[in-house]
């Protein structure tokens, strides 16, 4: 049975890694890609709406330009390779999908496009309209302008964020590996994990950061991070091998990460945020209160890291690790002055009437 059949998954996001798209000699694996297009066409005819997150621009451009280290020797090389490779990659997608009677659309996004709430909603609206027209959006990170500080760095997490924006029920990460193993699959005795109900410390500890092909930037660490984002948005995520023909219609071994109950859209967006501007450290009592649905008060906050403004995304960390993400009601300097103090003291400290909490529960998502 194929992954995420149309009847149970009205919208699907498929991510394809660089090593699957580009041969070592720098040519596009066009026959394989045509098979993917045929799979997508079958699903669209069955009523499923499909978006594609396609890697390959840097790998394709680097080989065309003769750049060392797959175009990743420097930021400038990566940007030049991306600019060169993206136009060829987009043309190829338009041709293979066009041969199946489908229209392709290109969307290039940066991290900021999906981390800024207004731009995120604009991207979501564009995706929704394209999918409703049975167009196949082909997305990639805009590596020609992204910098090391403001980029996803891998298309696994981008695919999960796209699924969230599109309201998709399923994400398939096609890669050079057929799923999660309890250790590096190259090690003796490695055991495949077919299903993950909850991503805990044990599951996270199984990840291996390496990319087997040397072309891509995402290893298992990025795939588990993507699964967290997708699960919080109510989308199942599967890691499957693309080293077969027609991988979307072939029954093959894979790992599926089971979705949580979908959070409200705003809270799912907060939980999936990747660029927290700061960190609020809290004591055990505050951690327990947050778990019970309370807002974060200054009295239970023990330290403030980072430089952030009111309204910026911050991470909330307790004695046992990350608890939540939310929008700060204060800037970093004000928050530092308030930590450990009860609300009755805040007006005297700040010189004005304080707000109710450092992070209000309505602007917070538990992890």
Q: How far apart are CA 230 and CA 354, in angstroms?
A: 36
Cβ atoms within 10 Å of 366's Cβ, excluding its own: 18
Which residues define the annotated binding site? 15, 55, 143, 155, 175-176, 217-223
Best CA proximity match to 91, nearest among 128, 56, 48: 56
Burial per residue of 12-26, b for 16 or more beta-carbon CB atoms within 10 angstroms, e otherwise = bbbbbbbbbbbeeee
Which residues define the annotated binding site for substrate? 55, 143, 155
Q: How far apart are CA 12 and CA 296, in angstroms?
A: 36
Instruction: Judge contact between 157 and 222, C-beta under 8 A.
Output: yes
Which residues share a beta bridge with 181? 192
Which residues define the annotated binding site for ATP? 15, 175-176, 217-223
Q: Give the N- to C-terminal CA distance of the chain in Å, as an integer.
A: 32
Which residues share a beta bridge with 237? 171, 257
Q: How far apart are CA 284 and CA 318, in angstroms?
A: 7
| DSSP per-residue letters across 3-56 | SS-GGG-SEEEEEE-HHHHB-TTS-B-HHHHHHHHHHHHHHHHTT-EEEEEE--
3-state secondary structure of 189: coil
Q: How far apart are CA 346 and CA 181, in angstroms?
A: 51
């Amino acid at each position: 049975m194929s992954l995420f059949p149309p009847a149970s998954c009205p919208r699907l996001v498929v991510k394809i890694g660089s090593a699957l798209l580009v041969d070592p000699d720098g040519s596009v694996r066009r026959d394989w890609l045509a098979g993917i297009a045929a799979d997508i066409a079958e699903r669209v005819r069955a009523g499923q709406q499909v978006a594609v997150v396609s890697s390959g621009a840097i790998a394709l451009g680097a080989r065309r330009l003769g750049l060392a280290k797959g175009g990743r020797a420097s930021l400038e090389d990566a940007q030049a390779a991306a600019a060169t490779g993206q136009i060829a990659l987009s043309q190829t997608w338009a041709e293979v999908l066009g041969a199946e009677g489908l229209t392709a659309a290109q969307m290039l996004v940066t991290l900021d496009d999906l981390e800024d709430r207004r731009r995120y909603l604009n991207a979501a609206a564009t995706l929704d309209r394209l999918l409703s027209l049975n167009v196949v959006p082909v997305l990639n990170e805009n590596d020609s302008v992204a910098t090391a500080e403001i980029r996803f760095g891998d298309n696994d997490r981008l695919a999960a964020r796209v699924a969230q924006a599109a309201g998709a029920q399923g994400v398939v990460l096609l890669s050079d590996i057929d799923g999660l193993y309890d250790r590096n699959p190259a090690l003796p005795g490695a055991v495949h994990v077919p299903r993950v109900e909850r991503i805990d410390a044990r599951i996270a500890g199984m990840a291996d950061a390496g990319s087997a092909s040397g072309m891509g930037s995402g290893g298992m660490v990025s795939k588990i991070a993507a699964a967290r984002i997708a699960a919080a948005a109510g989308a199942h995520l599967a890691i499957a091998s693309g080293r077969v023909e027609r991988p979307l219609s072939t029954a093959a071994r894979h790992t599926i990460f089971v979705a949580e109950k979908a959070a409200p859209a705003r809270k799912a967006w907060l939980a999936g945020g990747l660029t927290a501007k700061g960190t609020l450290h809290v004591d055990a009592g505050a951690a327990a209160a947050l778990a019970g649905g309370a807002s974060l008060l200054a009295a239970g906050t023990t330290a403030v890291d980072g430089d952030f403004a009111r309204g910026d995304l911050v991470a909330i960390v307790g004695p046992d690790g990350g608890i939540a993400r939310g929008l700060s009601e204060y800037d970093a300097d004000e928050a530092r002055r308030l930590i450990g103090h009860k609300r009755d003291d805040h007006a005297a400290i700040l010189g004005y009437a304080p707000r109710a909490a450092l992070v209000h529960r309505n602007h917070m998502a538990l992890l």
